[in-house]
């Protein structure tokens, strides 16, 4: 289940890669952290080793816990954008995060490409962000809004969402799987 979350996060990141700026804050990825990381396979498809060489959207598609995100990224037409981005950070909501949205509201957003794109690009920031970059930060999203990140050690939040698996590297992104869908203002 947690492996699914990581794959979904990676898919979202790839899909939202509309940003081509490479203003990454380079960092050697440490060991991913958070309770959802424990379900990631040790080897094979969907493992941290396998997804590290894949672009973010492709990597997310291997995670069943991110299937709703992957579906949304595809509906918005963001897969190629995210996969071709040079260096981004994706805050990837889990399936449970999407399930918390009333079904009729979610169906409406999934049917509205412009609204869906706005929401999904609100989950992506330029540059590969290390946990230290999230300690007390205001981040500008690809959508143009702002996210507030706070935390330390292995306990981080982005706006009101908790990071459940963080600092997951893909070929072109760093992924932080979160427990809520972030909504732009």
Residue recorded with tokens 């990825």: 29
CA nearest neighbour of 128 among 166, 169, 83: 169
Q: What is the pTM of this model?
A: 0.84
Cα–Cα–Cα angle for 157, 163, 21, nearest 5°?
Answer: 85
Q: Are 60 and 2 in contact (CB under 8 A)?
A: no
| pLDDT for residue 85 | 96
In this prediction, residue 44 carries a pLDDT of 84
Convert the pLDDT of each residue in 86-103 to its tens digit. Answer: 999 999 999 999 999 999
């Amino acid at each position: 289940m947690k492996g699914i979350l990581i794959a979904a996060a990676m898919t979202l990141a790839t899909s939202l890669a509309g940003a081509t700026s490479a203003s990454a804050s380079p960092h050697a990825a440490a060991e991913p952290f958070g309770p959802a990381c424990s379900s990631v396979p040790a080897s094979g498809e969907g493992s941290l080793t396998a997804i590290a060489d894949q672009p973010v959207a492709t990597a997310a598609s291997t995670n069943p816990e991110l299937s709703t995100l992957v579906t949304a990224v595809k509906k918005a037409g963001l897969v190629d954008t995210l996969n071709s981005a040079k260096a981004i950070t994706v805050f990837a909501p889990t399936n449970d995060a999407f399930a918390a949205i009333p079904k009729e509201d979610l169906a409406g957003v999934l049917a509205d490409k412009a609204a869906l794109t706005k929401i999904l690009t609100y989950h992506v920031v330029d540059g590969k962000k290390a946990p230290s970059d999230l300690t007390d930060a205001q981040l500008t999203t690809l959508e143009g809004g702002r996210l507030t990140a706070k935390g330390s050690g292995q306990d981080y939040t982005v706006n009101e969402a908790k990071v459940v698996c963080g600092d997951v590297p893909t070929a072109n992104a760093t992924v932080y799987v979160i427990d809520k869908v972030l909504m732009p203002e």
